[in-house]
Amino acid sequence: MPPPSAFDASPAPRPGNEADALQLDADVLVLGGGPAGTWAAISAAAGGARVILADKGWCGASGATAPSGTGVWYVPPQPELREEARASRESLGGFLSERLWMDRVLDRTYANMAQIAEWGYPFPVDEEGKQARRSLQGPEYMRLMRRQVIAAGVRILDHSPALELLSDDHGVAGAAGIERRSGRRWRVKANAVVIATGGCAFLSKALGCDVLTGDGGLMAAEVGADFSGMEFSNAYGISPAFASVTKTAFYRYATFYHGDGRVLEGAGSAKGRSIIARTLLSEPVFAQLDQAHEGLRESLRKSQPNFFLPFDKAGIDPLTQRFPVTMRLEGTVRGTGGIRLANAECATGVPGLYAAGDAATRELICGGFTGGGSHNAAWAMSSGYWAGGGAAAHARSLGASAATRTPKGAGRAALRSAGGERTLDHHAVVKAVQDEVFPYDRNLFRSTAKLNDSLGRLDQVWQQVQDHPADTVRDLVRGREAAAMTATARWMYTTARERRETRGMHKHEDFHDQDPSQRRRLVTSGIDVISVRAESGSGPVQAPAQLAGAAP
């Protein structure tokens, strides 16, 4: 780090007055500018809406996809290929997914990838001269998406985290937040809002994930939205122990080792991830991609330049040298739980509120596990597309402009104190939450006793986030993030406690087997008091007949 310079001393900005807030109105407001948010904004604009997109970071560089990149669930519309694609996911996800949703996502993804090609994404060309559209490199994809959002006439507010939703008697009517550098508040009235703020990775430093603290979930819960699949929120990504790069695909070519060079039997990036985690509890684990044969090596490098980045910088050749590994929590980023969807347009059931991408539940297409096959990327672009269209249609149906509404802020925790004089210590809250959700022997290997024990402490932490926010912009945003992380952890573990079996990524030490009688999704509601119920009936999200009629 360079020596601190004389210019270093700029004072930390303070939040501006409500009266000086940037006041805007739109038909649709999109929160989050990753794949889901950018697709939502473009699709809403195509539906004739005036659209504003606010991102906590910089739309194009922020979120999980931008610095990493994704394989995409891209399957040509041949019946046998589609059948294979659907079937391969069902048992893995514990049979909680729905074929109609899989079909819709496969169709939509196929179409959206063609659109991306038309926009000029430089897909590789295969031996037959056809574009190979199975993967998107993050920096390139998201740079392109930013350009398309701007070309669609969408106004982007960068470095402008949303802090709370606005609502009135007719439902959600916009959101309010703050511009981080200036401290100026913003308030956008809109007839429909799309939450596309990504998942929650609990500030684990997994690649690109520190902006993903579950803010959208908390905002949605504050206006009464429900969650689904919150027990499936314990995804961990393998990375070099020192680095952030949790790109795990190439670990299929790895052998894992003990420190003394013995092979760690049974360890692997897929099924054997538990063995790696158990071993990491007591000793370091090493890996080497020694199963990648000579002919493959060049291909690996060309496919994922950023996988090799930390190794090149550290002077390690992962193909020929051993390096220590760790597993970083990616929570709901590569878990499947999120805001529950009420229909095919990704409405949440709260009037005017839509959700897409990692912020929304992905159980509909992959049940309780997002293994390989790149469902997350397909889901983000598909659900974003639908949510944007649905939001535009809803805004249109209200007729009058949102400018005439007089909504109020719905945010509570870490924004509006319940009283008391204490100032919120967000560092302490973050640490306390991480202590409950990071450990493999709590979150990956669960038991009723451990869940109860963690929930007891998390309930205490939830009291702490009722304290007054501190007085800089950074503390305000951090405090709200800490509250969202706490809420997410409580939804996760409260729901996990109700699933008394092992299914999908939810591994229960007291109940090792999948129990056929528990083959149903769990719906979670509430903030201060949390309740969990089983979703009833078949095809619970929307009757298949209705779904089949909806636009793919």
Partner 1 sequence: MIELVSRDRCVSCDICVKVCPTQVFDPGLDGVPVIARQEDCQTCFMCEAYCPADALYVAPDADHPVQVEESALIAAGKLGKYRASLGWGTGRVSTAQQDDSYRILALSERLAPKKAAAASHPSAPA
Ligand X SMILES: Cc1cc2nc3c(=O)[nH]c(=O)nc-3n(C[C@H](O)[C@H](O)[C@H](O)COP(=O)(O)OP(=O)(O)OC[C@H]3O[C@@H](n4cnc5c(N)ncnc54)[C@H](O)[C@@H]3O)c2cc1C
Kindly list the residues in this chain that would bind ligand X in the complex (CB under 6 A).
31-37, 54-57, 62-65, 68, 70-71, 161-162, 196-198, 206-209, 211-212, 215, 237, 246-247, 330, 333-334, 357-359, 374-377, 380
DSSP state of 7: G
> 498-503: which pairs have CB atoms within 8 A and are 24 or more residues apart?
498/231, 498/522, 498/532, 499/231, 500/448, 503/94, 503/96, 503/368
DSSP-assigned beta bridge partners for residue 190 = 26
60 lies in the binding site for partner 1 (CB under 8 A): yes
126 lies in the binding site for partner 1 (CB under 8 A): yes
Q: Which strand (E) or helix (H) includes residue 100?
A: helix 99-119
Residue with tokens 């937040």: 177
How far apart are the C-alpha atoms of 61 and 34, rounded to whole Å? Answer: 8
How far apart are the C-alpha atoms of 277 and 264, rounded to whole Å? Answer: 11
Site for partner 1 in 258-277 (CB under 8 A): 268-271
Residues ≥6 apart with Cβ < 8 Å to 181: 13, 159
Whether the CB-CB separation of 101 and 109 falls below 8 Å is answered with no
Q: Where are the beta strands (DSSP E) in 263-409?
A: 285-288, 323-331, 338-339, 353-355, 408-409
122 lies in the binding site for partner 1 (CB under 8 A): yes
Nearer to ligand X, 246 or 382 (CB): 246
Q: Which of 121, 186, 227, 354 binds partner 1 (CB under 8 A)?
A: 121
395 lies in the binding site for partner 1 (CB under 8 A): no
116 lies in the binding site for partner 1 (CB under 8 A): no
Q: Is 172 left (phi over 0), alpha (psi -120 to 50) or beta?
A: beta
Query: Which of ligand X, partner 1, none binds 269 (CB below 5-8 Å, type-dependent)?
Result: partner 1
Only segment of 58-66, 192-200, 276-284, 479-487 that touches partner 1 (CB under 8 A): 58-66
Whether the CB-CB separation of 337 and 228 falls below 8 Å is answered with yes
How far apart are the C-alpha atoms of 157 and 52, rounded to whole Å? Answer: 7
Query: Which of ligand X, partner 1, none binds 122 (CB below 5-8 Å, type-dependent)?
Result: partner 1
How far apart are the C-alpha atoms of 342 and 127, rounded to whole Å? Answer: 44
Structure tokens at 82: 């589609």
Only segment of 164-172, 303-311, 379-387, 520-528 that touches partner 1 (CB under 8 A): 303-311
Query: Which of partner 1, ligand X, none binds 304 (CB below 5-8 Å, type-dependent)?
Result: partner 1
Nearer to ligand X, 15 or 63 (CB): 63
Nearer to ligand X, 209 or 523 (CB): 209
88 lies in the binding site for partner 1 (CB under 8 A): yes
How far apart are the C-alpha atoms of 40 and 383, rounded to whole Å? Answer: 8
Smallest gap from Cβ 122 to ligand X, in A, equals 18
Structure tokens at 88: 């391969």
Query: Which of ligand X, partner 1, none binds 162 (CB below 5-8 Å, type-dependent)?
Result: ligand X
How far apart are the C-alpha atoms of 515 and 499, rounded to whole Å? Answer: 10
Query: Which of partner 1, ligand X, none binds 380 (CB below 5-8 Å, type-dependent)?
Result: ligand X
Smallest gap from Cβ 292 to partner 1, in A, equals 9
Query: Which of ligand X, partner 1, none binds 357 (CB below 5-8 Å, type-dependent)?
Result: ligand X
Whether the CB-CB separation of 26 and 402 falls below 8 Å is answered with yes
Smallest gap from Cβ 530 to partner 1, in A, equals 28
Site for partner 1 in 17-56 (CB under 8 A): 56
User: What Å distances lie between residue 29 and 34, 52, 191, 352, CA to CA?
Assistant: 14, 5, 8, 10
Nearer to partner 1, 32 or 217 (CB): 32
552 lies in the binding site for partner 1 (CB under 8 A): no
443 lies in the binding site for partner 1 (CB under 8 A): no
Smallest gap from Cβ 187 to ligand X, in A, equals 14
Short-list 383, 396, 398, CA closest to 345: 383
15 lies in the binding site for partner 1 (CB under 8 A): no
Side chain identity, residue 351: P
Smallest gap from Cβ 361 to partner 1, in A, equals 18
Q: Which of 108, 180, 506, 508 binds partner 1 (CB under 8 A)?
A: 180
Q: Which of 22, 115, 123, 468 binds partner 1 (CB under 8 A)?
A: 123
Q: Which of 32, 35, 47, 71 binds partner 1 (CB under 8 A)?
A: 71
